[in-house]
Structure 1
Amino acid sequence: MAISFNASKVSECENEIIPGLPYDLALECLIRVPFTSHPSLRLVSHLWKSTISNPCFYSIRQTSNKAENLLFLIQPLSPTKTNTEATVAETFDNKKKASSGGDSSSGTTPPLLLYNLNIYNLSCQKWTPLLGISTIPTFAQLVVLPTLRKLLLLGGWDPSTLEPVSRVVLIDLARGTWSDASPMPTPRSFFACAAVGPATVYVAGGHDARKNALRSADLYDVLSDQWHSLPPMSQERDECHALSFDDKFWVVSGYGTESQGRFRPDAEIFDPEKRAWITVNGLWPYPANSPKSTAVVKVDGRSRWWHVLGGQIMDYQWQENQWKGVNMGRLPEWVTGLLSSSSSVCLVDMGDGKIFVMGNAENTCGAQQRVLMLERVTQDNVKTGINWRCQHLFTSPTFFGFPFSTSHLRI
């Protein structure tokens, strides 16, 4: 079936996109090229660049069922050579000694915590680094804006000083460009961050340069490139987790300055109409576990909140205000071993019933089994409930680093 732009012509010579082919047929060829190869396509000619940068091009990919599921991950550049936790601990110890007048020299220079923005293309099962961006702040947060086809990188640490930064980077995926946006009003790291609506991003909590937990929160309007201050939360929340649920911004758990590592059981929800925070008690009953190993997952058209714990996926029952185990069906032992032994687990809803899972801990099954895809399969026999198809995602050690922040986009 022939397809064409429902907008003005991108060129007076649109029948010359590919010499010898009609415009519609040439366009059908281009929409089949994987997204990670689009940077190369833009270099072919000005006409190819303008065609691929046109928003209608990606609308056609969607309507023609040629869109791809992409997972964006903030990962260490050299996970096999850098012990991130040891480096962070040593750096904070040195800062503490220096502030108290002691000797901050440890005898060795900690390696830089260099991070990169990588892409996993589920459609063609390929890992690719997103090149061209200047140094990415360590532990930066990543937020996707599906309607605008843009990504935001926010906050984190300066890789050389490990001081919190306020930098915000806006990445235009359709045009293949990036630029520095208006910085956050408050430099912060390990904060909650999520998009609510097509062009609004919230940030809250985290900690400052002296490791003091924060209550402050801000709102960023992507279209106007402006930040707006919000009322502070009722509690300090360092290492909190953000959810965009029911068109509201949720800040889950976290801990205060004096209670580092002991995660709070409650959450706060921002009500934009009342410009006030609402506290929800009993939402996170795991004081020793970070809420970052959770994700909002679409199940049978409804949003569910899932958490990986003790070798199984836990499902939060919103109406009953409690966590329950999801029937995972029969899984190979190496999968349950991964989920139960990993100190940290990354869980991302990739759509179409597929869940991306990545573990942080080594296990007896080998490093290549730390990354997998779970796919829900509905059985004809109702008694069997939900079963899962498990798939290894084999990749090079370059992409083994545990992702600090992830976002999914179908484009």
Structure 2
Amino acid sequence: MEDLIPGLTNDVARECLARVPFIAFPTLCSVCKLWRQELRDPTFHRFRKSTGIAQPVVVVVQSVPDIAQSARPRPVVYRLVIFEPATGVWSSLPPSPDLPFGPPLFCRLAAVGTELVVVGGWEPRNWATTDKVHVYDFLTGEWRRGSPLPDPLRSFFACAAMHGSDKGCRVVYVAGGHDENKNALRSAFAYDVTGDSWKPLPDMARERDECCAVILRGKFLVLGGYSTEAQGMFSRSAEVFDATAGSWGPVEEAVLEKAAWPVTCVAGEDGRMYQCTGKEVIVRLEGGAWATVAELPGEMRLVLNAVAWEGKLMVMGLERSGGSLVANILDMKATTTMTTPASASWRKVEVPPEYQGRLLGVCCLVI
């Protein structure tokens, strides 16, 4: 067997490679074929996670702020931004050559292993609905085009990713939304990231425009939305797709606490669903009741997005005074329904002026 690093055992060499920050992975992959193969091996990433070396990477669709405050109105341009919670560093993701004007408006983000999948949205220049799929590989630092989202063209659909490297499961699910005539949809699809192929799923029981989704306990849970005949009247119901059974379960009524856009719903690693609502973070308990686990930071007037990873919850929203973008991280492992909500410990995230743009979407990878 060829040595990963001459003069070292492969176990020692593997640990050396594993300790390199993810931002340098493209350089490692370019050194030699053997290193590229090593970084592609699921065992390598399991080792990084088991030893605490792997880092969470939050990816945000964000507008480029007009720091100079130009006198003339400027077209709003969006970009993909990454935030590293471990270091507090913000930076911009390299743009895709196929997206010269930035990512599509209202595109959906999904994290699959070390890859970011960007699905659909509106073309920035003419707001035309797009079916394009773009995949960014954090290992190589390269973009590639994926197979387009099947017809009909859709907007404001639910999207979530299932990832299990041990089982080779790398799937992005899409469901609901509306077509070009503003008809709410029941159809759903699954995208195999490795095979670059889509397959249709059975239709949901109900139309769901502007629905959201999470992967909860290994199943695709589609939340809320509304029908064609009930524009803007959000439902509290949900439907669950079981990939093993290949079918949707019965519609569950009153899953959400409120009939509103469930964009801040996230799945915790404890198998429970959390949501930011009003001035609180709430959790759905066994039996369907919701309980408060934390009060949101007092400086936050409105939560725009939330994302969770390994026992942490990051919320991003508008400041109560001034409307600047603010962000905070909650340790959910130290916060339970037995904790006094007001005593929840939040860590404030510093957001530099150059990253004070509007938010349109978020997801998180652990690399």
| Within-5 A mapping of 1:299-318 | 302-317=270-285
Q: Which residue in 1 is equivalent to 2:314?
A: 356
- Pair 1:405 & 2:361 matched: yes
**Consecutive unaligned residues in structure 1, runs of 5 or more:** 1-7, 83-108
Q: Distance in 2 between matches of 1:81 and 1:270?
A: 48
CA distance change for structure 1 residues 63 and 264 in 2, over 3 Å: closer, same or farther? closer
| CA positional deviation for 1:22 | 9.1
Question: What letter matches 2:92 in structure 1?
Answer: P
Q: Which residue in 1 is equivalent to 2:212?
A: 241
| CA positional deviation for 1:253 | 0.6
Q: Which residue in 1 is equivalent to 2:2?
A: 9
CA distance change for structure 1 residues 238 and 33 in 2, over 3 Å: closer, same or farther? same
| CA positional deviation for 1:170 | 2.1
Residues 133-174 of structure 1, C-alpha deviations (whole Å, 9 max, x = no match): 13222211111113xx22211111111121111111122222
Q: Distance in 2 between matches of 1:229 and 1:383?
A: 44
| Within-5 A mapping of 1:11-410 | 14-15=5-6, 30-39=17-26, 45-46=31-32, 50=36, 53-55=39-41, 57-78=44-65, 112-134=75-97, 135=99, 136-146=103-113, 149-186=114-151, 187-197=153-163, 198-272=169-243, 273=245, 275-287=247-259, 289-298=260-269, 302-317=270-285, 319-328=286-295, 335-338=297-300, 341-342=301-302, 344-351=303-310, 353-359=311-317, 361-364=318-321, 367=324, 370-376=326-332, 378=334, 387-410=343-366
Question: What letter matches 2:291 in structure 1?
Answer: K
Q: Distance in 2 between matches of 1:396 and 1:40?
A: 27
Q: Distance in 1 between matches of 2:112 and 2:40?
A: 17
Residues 266-300 of structure 1, C-alpha deviations (whole Å, 9 max, x = no match): 1122244253452111112423x3101111113xx
Q: Is 1:253–1:284's contact at 8 Å kept on the other side of the alignment? A: yes
Q: Is 1:164–1:208's contact at 8 Å kept on the other side of the alignment? A: no
Q: Distance in 2 between matches of 1:376 and 1:231?
A: 35
Question: What letter matches 2:6 in structure 1?
Answer: N
Residues 337-358 of structure 1, C-alpha deviations (whole Å, 9 max, x = no match): 41xx21x43221132x322110
| CA positional deviation for 1:52 | 7.5
> What's the % identity of the aligned pairs?
31
Tell me whether 72-81 or 240-249 shows the greater mean CA deviation: 72-81
Q: Distance in 2 between matches of 1:245 and 1:268?
A: 12
Greater share of residues in strand: 2
1:128 counterpart SS class: strand
What TM-score results when the alignment is normalised by the length of structure 1?
A: 0.74
Q: Distance in 2 between matches of 1:64 and 1:252?
A: 35
CA distance change for structure 1 residues 24 and 76 in 2, over 3 Å: closer, same or farther? same
Q: Is 1:15–1:23's contact at 8 Å kept on the other side of the alignment? A: no
| TM superposition outliers: structure 1 runs of 4+ over 6 Å | 21-27, 79-82
Question: What letter matches 2:125 in structure 1?
Answer: S
Q: Is 2:216–2:272's contact at 8 Å kept on the other side of the alignment? A: no
Which structure has more relative contact order (CA 8 Å, sep 6+)? It is 2
Q: Distance in 2 between matches of 1:270 and 1:65?
A: 32
Question: What letter matches 1:140 in structure 2?
Answer: C
Q: Is 1:270–1:278's contact at 8 Å kept on the other side of the alignment? A: no
1:279 counterpart SS class: coil
Q: Is 2:282–2:294's contact at 8 Å kept on the other side of the alignment? A: no
**RMSD of aligned alpha carbons:** 3.2
Greater share of residues in helix: 1
What TM-score results when the alignment is normalised by the length of structure 2?
A: 0.82
- Structure ID, larger Rg: 1
